[in-house]
Amino acid sequence: MSFSAFTFSPEIHRSIRDRGHHQATPIQTEAIPLILSGRDVVATAETGSGKTAAFLIPLTDRFHRDRASGPTMLVIEPTRELAAQVGREFQLLARHCNLRAAVVVGGESMRRQTSELRRAQVIIACPGRLLDHLERHHVALDGVSAVVIDEADRLLDMGFMPQLRRIMQLVPSQRQTLMFSATMDSAAEMMAREFLRRPARISIGGKPAPPASIRQTLCPATHLDKEAILIALLKRGVESAIVFTRTKSGADRVSRILKRSGVQAVAIHGDLSQGQRTAALAAFRRHAWRVLVATDVAARGLDIPGVSHVINFDMPDEPEGYIHRIGRTARMGREGHAISLVTQQEREALGRIERALGITLERETVDGFEQPQVTAPKPVTLFSSSAIRGLHERPRFRWA
């Protein structure tokens, strides 16, 4: 569906054209009319489907038309990186409107954020820092008429439900509430029932799965060969890659090894300050670094254009983590390649991923390295039905 079919203000249409967007994605096509009508909405869609624009475009248009003066829209995000990303997207959409946003996250100046909150019509915030401002009476939420709970499953995973309840008690009961999530489990359903009123439901893509435009391969490895295999893969003409490690120390170590090998790499993880993380992501976005070595802090929601490869240096334990990681490539319909370096010790994780996705990852070889045999284990059946019947049929003995 073309964006020209929506009755947005001329300023919003102009911003959409400036972004080079012409056709709405499926989630945008379904969500935008419902949001414009004022309905509460619960939406689930695969990563990279355009969820952020699906709520930002109609809400920005509404508050531009209403000429709001104080905070009228609240967007709650689980991480600082996601809040900053949504803030950047809002700035681009509102560039021709008289609207301001305050991005409220930990690790940055409270004084500067307080100043921004006084002038903002839109608040994009992580729960903890927003509560800090609310408790100090730097801002009030009694004028908020739209709340967006973004990446709801991630907010729950990170234990933010108590903070969410406190925040939602401070916004008016008469409001529009939107909830966007990549997955919808029982905990997310309970959140929807608690915070939303008779929401319209949108589900794009059904069962969570990586975009079909991602080529997924497996590279068998040993612990001793992993670093050398990674370097060989990156020197195959990879344009831009995110390499995922299990630990923060692992991200630092792999980044140092790549730099010593002549590969431009920078690390990002939770032990870095907000300024360091922001600077690393900004440099990677403008291609000052070819490789971003990251923990799962970069696995959810981040939209970094032009990432051609995702490499799992360490395998994630669960299929959901794998889906989110490799979803950093092939954004908005582009093609991408995900490569997983798997040791024999990681075959259990491989088996869970392959069974959940219903696929067998294509094996990939690297010249000069012996390829160990790594196979995903088959599900274990402790007793067959015939063995169980046999147990019941055995004669019983009685002690004299």
pLDDT in tens, 202-234: 998 767 778 889 999 999 999 999 999 999 999
For residues 294 and 242, give the distance between their C-alpha atoms in angstroms, rounded to a whole number.
Answer: 7
The predicted pLDDT at position 391 comes to 41
Backbone torsions φ then ψ of 114, nearest 5 degrees? -60, -40
% pLDDT > 90, the chain: 68
Domains and CATH numbers, the chain: 3-204 (3.40.50.300), 214-363 (3.40.50.300)
Buried b (16+ CB within 10 A) or exposed e, 2-11: ebeebebeeb
Length of the chain: 400
The predicted pLDDT at position 305 comes to 82
pLDDT tens, 1-59?
899 999 999 999 999 999 888 899 999 999 999 999 999 999 998 766 789 999 999 99
398, two tokens: 């009685």
For residues 105 and 84, give the distance between their C-alpha atoms in angstroms, rounded to a whole number.
Answer: 8
Binned at pLDDT 50, 70 and 90, residue 131 comes out as very high
List all residues 6 or more positions away from 169 whose beta carbon is below 8 Å from its beta carbon.
Answer: none
Q: What is the DSSP letter of 301?
A: S
pLDDT tens, 346-362?
999 999 999 999 999 99
DSSP string, 184-218: --HHHHHHHHHH-SS-EEEEESSS----TTEEEEE
Residue corresponding to tokens 């889906």: 323
For residue 198, which amino acid is it? R
pTM (two decimals): 0.75
The predicted pLDDT at position 354 comes to 94
